[in-house]
Structure 1
């Protein structure tokens, strides 16, 4: 039988070992960056009139491109997220660098967009009604006989 002092010592030792396992490396939330890391020095190097090749040397290949008319846009996206140990990711910050090129493949303009510039678009959950009835796979097989 343990003495009351011994019981308290054992409980304290168990608690100390349990707390020692709780370090910052086993945090429940990790911070990470998805996509590009856009340094401020690279932003300062991109100016109107520069070529696509120079932009590629400074920033690398774009994440996405878009062509409309005789202009082209390159997009570099940086997203900072907090991810829990359970797999849930929460976006903390998003930066989109858009570089617009003219028909001569020279920088015409550049813009930096953040989460504040974005708009949330609700997804429509209604379904378009079809003529007739919705048939399952089994129904369509049986109706062919």
Structure 2
């Protein structure tokens, strides 16, 4: 009885797989990266419309509601944050740029000034991971029951 080889049935599959891998290698590397904007898209024309003396309502009409607000005594501020990121198909997110538009208001809710901050203006804050232990936290449920007797 002659031995049959499987090369006759595997050859078309192997050829198709090799062709698929070759074509995938020919695509551009940018197809593995998605560029997107997080937060607001701050346009130059919208920023140019904001001038000192305008009301808070007009700023909200032009730019939309702010991402964050802040109040310091009589003054307040609106914060609009735009972050441009690249996300790879492997889940890694890289920040390309960050723009923070801050609109400052006086006590009459009129624009006093505006400022634009970039990624280089920010400060990295280290979050403290230590925890203060509290009584009863280190004991297990059974330890607590046994100590109550």
- TM-score normalised according to structure 2 size: 0.77
| Offset of residue 135 of structure 1 | 2.1
State the distance in 2 between where 1:42 and 1:74 align.
Answer: 14
What are the within-5 Å matches in structure 2 for residues 1-145 of structure 1? 15-21=18-24, 23=27, 27-130=31-134, 134-145=138-149
In the alignment of these two chains, the number of paired residues is 138
Which structure's CA Rg is the greater one? 2
**1:40-92 Cα shifts (integer Å, max 9, x gaps):** 11111111111111111110111111112111110000001111222221111
Secondary structure in structure 2 of the residue aligned to 1:53: helix
State the distance in 2 between where 1:27 and 1:144 align.
Answer: 63
- Indicate the larger mover: 134-143 or 110-119: 134-143
| Unmatched 5+ stretches in structure 2 | none
State the distance in 1 between where 2:46 and 2:126 align.
Answer: 35
State the distance in 2 between where 1:129 and 1:38 align.
Answer: 45
What's the C-alpha RMSD, in Å, of the aligned pairs? 2.8
- TM-score normalised according to structure 1 size: 0.79
